[in-house]
């Protein structure tokens, strides 16, 4: 029983990570109608910024600030240079352009920092374990990630629903031309939304850095799942991103954890684990297919 | 004009031919070194390459008295890329001697092409079980260890240390399967859990939960390179490193992983065929030369020792045929004599051209300077070959 609880906690932690990325992606697509394939690049830039500063300074707080600054800066630069020219274009051209950005960022990082992975140490206070489930010492750092993610979710929700800028964002996602006709500086709004999305992705990268290795290409691995989350949750809705991320995160983790055990009974361990890994990665896409069949606009409808 | 220009032309061609053959006699033997230089496991290939090149450098650009030219290429941890590089080396560069591959899945894609073309492959690291038994080949030599036997030493170590219930994990590819098979062959206790992770996996939280639920006495894991660093860090973060002891083979605790993990690794049991503190003459010479070239911050891993030994082994082979690779049977006779001083001590080739060697138990302990290091404790096995030698028809 504690195993199932611990795996569920792992799933929630993974879901929170996905949420940070999906929130930004869903805003960018919802408000700006841009398919941003380069979203994973901000995740990686945030992680690299944090790892490089963390190595030199030894302070996680400084590293986090550096990572956020790097991701936000990268977001602004890419928005100014590339994305601005894509607002009026169709989705295929957006995909091509942002795919080019991925290649550029990946190769640039390799040239600047080499191919060896970087590691960011966990801040001292969080390196122990916490017994959230009695009898299970769960890594304190993962609990901190869940807490951070939930804080961001609440903060974003307040921002979107209770502030004036949030209102503009919501309006811009459903009635873009009307907002423009009302005299709002839509360009500035887009830049803000893009920057916010990049910042959230960068935060995801910073939180992931102590757990996983910081290396070139880390963004692409998580980007595919992020797209699945956005589709499952509903485009343009932060709440949808949260629900989708939880569904995808928990489903993926529980399938990965328990499907091989079930298969162990009927085949050899190596075959069972290989088949289990394959089926559980398929599981997410089955969920997405189901959602598209039953509720194609996503589990949560966008506000508007 | 036309009458005496023809003889002049013929004379010119003959002279050119003589010059070419004279140059050919001094041509260095070209060795193709295909290895993994990028990604989290890039330091494995870099160490193999640097150990190999160091041996050639120490002999002034020669191995066994024969001048060599080593062409190094990165397979990027992709079997398709390794295969492409081998094809290029075979067809355009006409190379007949290959070495370098770190990972068993790349061996599977690359080595068959090399052997089918009649060229020779000497492995400094990966030695999957299929090539050590019925698919053994007279042009395929291994200088490091057969995959299973590396982990058989860990299984024997765990048995010697008195553990009764083990949880074992490895990535799901040939070397991972060999690892778990090898451990199980020599571990006399009960296996309470067996898991295969993915080669591209970075988050081991679900596996940690399962280890905790199974309550083993000891955990055995094989995760080389960057995978090992991620696994150990998360094992420590999950609070397991202090509570459930770990027994591993050398790839899961090399000096680079140790540097990344630090003091938390103290107490981990390691088994290997080589360690930095071996005090035979060849090893002392190797370590001194390495530290002189690369400085005190970069310690050689056992991959570096294997790259160095492979170069010496190839040197012994080349010396026996005076650099002439056209007769691979003569080269084979020379190679199998193993007429070189290995940095690990005793070394000879078995009938399947894989090593027969001693295995040692080690533990991570705190050094006099306060930093953790891997200390050799004792011998686990002597003159140990591998489980597949009898299936090989050589």
Q: Which domain holds residue A187?
A: 2-216
Burial of A296 (0-12, 13-18, 19+ CB in 10 A): exposed
A142-157 pLDDT, tens digit per residue, is 999 999 999 999 999 8
How sure is the predictor about B15, in pLDDT bands with cuts at 50, 70 and 90? low
pLDDT tier at B171, thresholds 50, 70, 90: very high
Distance from CA of A237 to the nearest CA of B (A): 28
Whether residue A228 is contained in a domain is answered as no
Is the separation of the CB atoms in A71 and A131 below 8 Å? no
Q: Do A6 and B237 touch (CB under 8 A)?
A: no
How large is the average pLDDT for residues A250-269? 86
Question: What is the per-residue pLDDT across A7-37, written as a single tens digit (0 to 9) for each?
Answer: 999 999 999 999 999 999 988 888 888 889 9
Q: Which residue has the tokens 């690291």?
A: B125
Q: Is residue B17 pLDDT above 60, yes or no?
A: no
**CA distance, residue A141 to nearest chain B CA (Å):** 8
pLDDT, position B2: 56
A222 in a domain, yes or no? no
Burial of B15 (0-12, 13-18, 19+ CB in 10 A): exposed
**pLDDT score of B10:** 67
Q: What is the structure's pLDDT at B106?
A: 95
Distance CA B248, CA B222 (A): 7
Residue A130 pairs in a beta bridge with: A138
Strand B190-197 to strand B165-171: parallel, antiparallel, or no bridges (unpaired)? parallel
Q: CA nearest B310: which of B50, B37, B1?
A: B50
pLDDT of residue B23: 45
Q: Is B92 exposed, middle or buried (0-12, 13-18, 19+ CB in 10 A)?
A: exposed
Whether residue A211 and residue B203 make contact (CB cut-off 8 A), yes or no, is yes
Q: Is residue A251 domain-resident?
A: no
Please provide the average confidence, as pLDDT, over all residues in chain B.
90
A158-214 pLDDT per residue, tens:
998 899 888 888 887 777 778 888 888 888 888 888 999 999 999 999 999 888 878
- Output the pLDDT for position B4: 60
Per-residue pLDDT band for B22 (boundaries 50, 70, 90) equals very low
- Asked if the structure places residue A140 within a domain, the reply is yes
For B23-38, how does the pLDDT look when each residue is reduced to its tens digit (9 = 90+)?
Answer: 444 589 999 999 999 8
Percentage of chain A modeled with pLDDT above 70: 99
ipTM over 0.85: no
- pLDDT value at B236 more than 90: no
User: d(Cα B360, Cα A279) in Å, to the nearest integer?
Assistant: 41
- The answer to whether residue B223 neighbours chain A at the CB level (below 8 Å) is no
Quick check: B244 and A137 in contact, CB under 8 A? no
Between vectors from CA B182 to CA B181 and to CA B184, what angle results, nearest 5°?
A: 65
What separation, in Å, do the N-terminal and C-terminal C-alpha atoms of chain A show?
A: 42
Residue A13 forms contact with B (CB below 8 Å):
yes
A259 found inside a domain:
no
| Pairing mode of beta strands B218-221, B165-171 | parallel
Of A70, A62, A58, the closest CA to residue A113 belongs to: A70
**Best of A8, A17, A117, A218 to mutate (most B CBs within 10 Å, chain B):** A117
Using CB atoms and an 8 Å cut-off, which of residues 167-206 of chain A contact chain B? none
Bridge pairing between strands B372-384 and B269-272 = unpaired
- Min mean pLDDT across A122-136, B50-64, B338-352, B378-392 is at A122-136
Residue A243 lies inside a defined structural domain of this protein: no
Residue that wins the pLDDT comparison between A102 and A58 = A102
pLDDT one-digit tens code per residue, A276-296? 878 887 888 999 999 999 988
Residue with structure tokens 């591993």?
B248
**Average pLDDT over every residue of A88-109:** 91
* Domains of chain B with CATH codes: 25-145+278-349 (3.40.50.2300), 148-272+359-389 (3.40.50.2300)
pLDDT band at B119 (very low <50, low <70, confident <90, very high): very high
Are β-strands B120-123 and B218-221 bridged in parallel, bridged antiparallel, or unpaired?
unpaired
Give me the number of domains chain A comprises.
1
| Cα–Cα distance measured from residue B75 to residue B80, given in angstroms and rounded to the nearest whole number | 8
Is A202 part of a structural domain of the chain?
Answer: yes
When pLDDT is averaged across residues B153-163 and rounded to a whole number, the result is: 94
Residue B260 has pLDDT above 60, yes or no: yes
Residues 6+ apart with CB under 8 A from B59: B65, B315
Judge residue A143's burial from the number of C-beta atoms within 10 Å of its C-beta, 0-12 exposed, 13-18 middle, 19 or more buried.
middle
Task: Note the pLDDT tens digit of each residue in B96-115.
Answer: 999 999 999 999 999 999 99
pLDDT at residue number B230: 85
Q: Is residue A163 part of a domain?
A: yes
Q: How does strand B97-99 pair with strand B66-74?
A: unpaired
Render pLDDT for B296-311 as a digit per residue (tens, 0 to 9).
888 899 999 999 999 9
Determine the distance in angstroms separating the CA of A260 from the nearest CA of chain B, rounded to an integer: 9
List chain B residues with CB under 8 Å of A257: 206, 209-210
Residues 6+ apart with CB under 8 A from B152: B182, B183, B185, B186, B381, B384, B386, B387
Q: A277 or B349, which is more confident?
A: B349
Q: What is the mean pLDDT of residues B245-265?
A: 88
* B54-64 average pLDDT score: 94
**pLDDT computed for residue A50 by the predictor:** 94
Q: How confident is the model at residue A304 (pLDDT cuts 50, 70, 90)?
A: very low
Task: Find the DSSP H helices in chain A.
Answer: 2-32, 39-57, 60-81, 91-113, 140-162, 164-174, 176-181, 186-208, 218-233, 238-264, 269-294
Q: Give the up-direction half-sphere exposure of residue A276: CA atoms within 13 A in the CB hemisphere.
A: 26
DSSP state of A136: E
The pLDDT score that the predictor gives to residue B24 is 46
Q: pLDDT tens, B190-234? A: 999 888 888 878 889 889 988 988 899 999 999 988 888 889 888
């Amino acid at each position: 029983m504690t195993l199932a609880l611990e795996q569920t906690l792992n799933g929630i932690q993974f879901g929170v990570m996905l949420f940070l990325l999906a929130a930004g992606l869903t805003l960018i697509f919802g408000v700006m109608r841009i398919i941003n394939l380069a979203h994973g690049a901000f995740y990686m830039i945030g992680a690299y910024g944090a790892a490089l500063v963390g190595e030199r300074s030894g302070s996680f707080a400084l590293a986090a600030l550096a990572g956020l600054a790097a991701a936000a800066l990268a977001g602004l630069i890419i928005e100014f240079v590339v994305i601005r020219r894509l607002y009026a274009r169709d989705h295929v051209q957006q995909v091509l352009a942002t795919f080019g950005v991925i290649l550029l960022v990946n190769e640039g990082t390799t040239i600047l920092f080499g191919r060896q992975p970087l590691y960011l140490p966990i801040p001292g206070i969080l390196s122990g374990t916490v017994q959230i489930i009695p009898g299970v010492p769960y890594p304190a750092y993962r609990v901190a990630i869940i807490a951070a993610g939930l804080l961001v979710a609440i903060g974003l929700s307040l921002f979107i629903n209770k502030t004036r800028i949030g209102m503009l964002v919501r309006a811009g996602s459903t009635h873009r031309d009307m907002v423009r006709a009302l005299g709002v500086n839509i360009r500035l709004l887009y830049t803000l939304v893009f920057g916010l999305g990049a910042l959230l992705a960068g935060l995801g990268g910073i939180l992931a850095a102590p757990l996983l290795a910081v290396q070139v290409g880390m963004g692409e691995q998580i980007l595919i799942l992020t797209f699945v989350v956005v589709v499952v949750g509903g485009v343009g809705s932060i709440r949808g991103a949260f629900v989708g991320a939880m569904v995808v995160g928990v489903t993926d983790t529980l399938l990965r954890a328990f499907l091989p055990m079930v298969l162990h009974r009927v085949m050899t361990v190596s075959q069972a684990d290989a088949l289990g890994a394959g089926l559980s990665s398929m599981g997410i896409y089955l969920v997405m297919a189901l959602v598209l069949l039953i509720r194609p606009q996503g589990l949560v409808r966008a506000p508007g | 004009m036309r009458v005496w220009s023809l003889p002049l032309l013929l004379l010119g061609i003959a002279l050119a031919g003589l010059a070419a053959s004279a140059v050919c006699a001094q041509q260095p033997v070209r060795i193709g070194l295909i290895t993994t230089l990028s990604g989290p496991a890039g330091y494995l290939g870099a160490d193999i390459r640097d150990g190999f090149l160091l041996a050639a450098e120490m002999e002034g650009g020669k191995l066994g008295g024969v001048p060599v030219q080593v062409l190094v290429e990165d397979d990027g941890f992709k079997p398709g890329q390794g295969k492409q590089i081998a094809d290029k080396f075979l067809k355009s560069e006409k190379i007949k001697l290959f070495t370098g591959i770190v990972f068993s899945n790349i061996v599977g894609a690359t080595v068959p092409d090399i052997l089918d073309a009649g060229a020779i492959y000497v492995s400094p690291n990966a030695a999957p079980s299929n090539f050590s038994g019925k698919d053994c080949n007279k042009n395929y030599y291994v200088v490091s260890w057969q995959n299973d036997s590396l982990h058989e030493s860990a299984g024997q170590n765990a048995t010697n240390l008195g553990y009764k219930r083990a949880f074992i994990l490895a990535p799901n590819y040939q070397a991972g399967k060999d690892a778990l098979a090898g451990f199980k062959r020599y571990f006399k206790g009960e296996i309470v859990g067996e898991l295969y992770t993915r080669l591209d996996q970075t988050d081991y939280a679900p596996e940690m939960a399962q280890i905790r639920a199974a309550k083993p006495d000891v955990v055995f894991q094989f995760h080389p390179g960057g995978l090992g660093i991620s696994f150990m860090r998360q094992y420590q973060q999950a609070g397991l490193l202090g509570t459930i002891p770990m027994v591993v083979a050398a790839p899961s605790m090399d000096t680079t992983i140790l540097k990344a993990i630090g003091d938390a690794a103290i107490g981990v049991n390691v088994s290997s065929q080589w360690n930095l503190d071996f005090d035979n003459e060849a090893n002392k010479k190797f370590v001194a030369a390495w530290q002189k070239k690369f400085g005190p911050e970069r310690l050689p891993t056992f991959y570096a020792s294997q790259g160095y030994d492979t170069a010496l082994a190839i040197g012994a082979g080349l010396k026996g045929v005076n650099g002439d690779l056209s007769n691979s049977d003569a080269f084979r006779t020379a190679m199998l004599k193993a007429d070189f001083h290995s940095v690990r001590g005793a070394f000879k080739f078995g009938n399947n051209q894989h090593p027969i060697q001693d295995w040692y138990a080690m533990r991570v302990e705190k050094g006099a300077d306060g930093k953790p290091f891997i200390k050799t404790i004792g011998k686990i096995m002597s003159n140990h070959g591998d489980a597949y030698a009898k299936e090989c028809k050589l």
